[in-house]
Amino acid sequence: MQDASCPVESRLNALALYLPNDPQPNGRYKTWTQHNGLFTTSGQLSRVDGDVIRGHLGPDDPIDDARRAAQVCMLRCLALIKLARGTLDCIEQVATVTGYVNAASGFTQHSKVIDAASEILLELYGDRGRHVRTAIGASSLPDGGLVELQLTAYLTD
């Protein structure tokens, strides 16, 4: 983990991770909301340049693509914070991450998939990135997405 005094975006770039441009909703909802310092994103699919990372994991399938999809989802969540506040340095504490994995009955590695998203937060924020989390299997996700994430964080004024 890098020095906590280093701006978050510098650490993000050092990890060779980049925020997508302006994630837009694909329906009749807001992509984020904020009230009294509590910031919540809508569910973010594993979407890159308009294309969804699709898939459905079976019990014996490798999870590498799903872990990458979870990272993409987290980067989309962070991009919403940057869009709203102009910086990623405003996160005081990540509160929750809820992750959904498009998986068949018998798939049991949901937590390992969503770990890929949690690891980004820990690398960027240290203890401020440590959060409570739920990893859920779903029989399908919108647009056939492989992973969907929702993030809630406390932001500084």
Which domains can be identified in the chain, with CATH numbers? 8-155 (3.30.1330.40)
The tokens describing 81, both together, are 């914070």
What is the reported pTM? Answer: 0.93
Sign of CA dihedral 81, 85, 90, 94: negative
pLDDT per residue as tens digits for the range 125-152: 999 999 999 999 999 999 999 999 999 9
pLDDT per residue as tens digits for the range 76-120: 999 999 999 999 999 999 999 999 999 999 999 999 999 999 999
pLDDT for the residue numbered 49: 86
Containing 90, the helix (H) or strand (E) segment is none
- Classify 132 as helix, strand or coil: strand
Tell me the DSSP string of 133-153: EEEEEES--GGGBSEEEEEEE
pLDDT per residue as tens digits for the range 4-49: 445 999 999 999 999 998 778 788 899 999 999 999 999 999 998 8
pLDDT for the residue numbered 5: 45
Tell me the DSSP string of 94-129: EEEEEEEEEB-TT---HHHHHHHHHHHHHHHHGGGG
Check pLDDT > 70 for residue 1.
no
Tell me the DSSP string of 2-63: --TTS-HHHHHHHTT--PPS----SSSS-SEEEETTEEEEPPEE-EETTEE-B--B-TTS--
pLDDT tier at 50, thresholds 50, 70, 90: confident
Is 81 in contact with 155 (CB distance < 8 Å)? yes
